[in-house]
Amino acid sequence: MKIFGLTDGIPAYIREVVYRFEMGEKLEDVFLHNKPLFEEANYLLRYEIRDPVRHAQILKAIALGHTKFGEIVNFTGFSNSTVSQYLSNLQTLHIVEVEYPAGEPRKRDARYRIVDNYFIFYFRFIYPNKSRLLEGRRIPDFESKYN
């Protein structure tokens, strides 16, 4: 289940992750030594979107649990209109979807979630710690957070 969650079921990534786990690598090393897996989210955003850095900040906010519109605005520091436009872009790309509580949907009760398992993992663990990983340092308490 962990491997599927990391790779979102992409066969080439599954093979690579399984191989690296069998070689005894830790999860952080699997991502760091597999350039496509380490950079895939950025490549996809750069290919599809003009401003991938701001979109990445919004994805990071959602992945870290800031799922209401106001929480995303506060976390990113972007204006309401910017967050609204970028969330719309991410929904169009089927990376993010909006959910409402049971009953009649009300805009203010909306929660945003990342649909793709790879993006969830990437923006929760890899993206916020990218420079740390590139320096060869570990993600603090990573194993306890991920297990």
Distance between first and last Cα of the chain: 11
90-101 tens-digit pLDDT = 999 999 999 887
User: Phi/psi class of residue 74: alpha, beta or left (left: φ > 0; alpha: ψ in -120 to 50)?
Assistant: alpha
Q: How far apart are CA 6 and CA 4, in angstroms?
A: 5
Q: Mean of the per-residue pLDDT values for the chain?
A: 81
Question: Domains in the chain, ordered, with CATH?
Answer: 2-146 (1.10.10.10)
More confident residue, 125 or 64: 64
Global confidence as pTM: 0.75
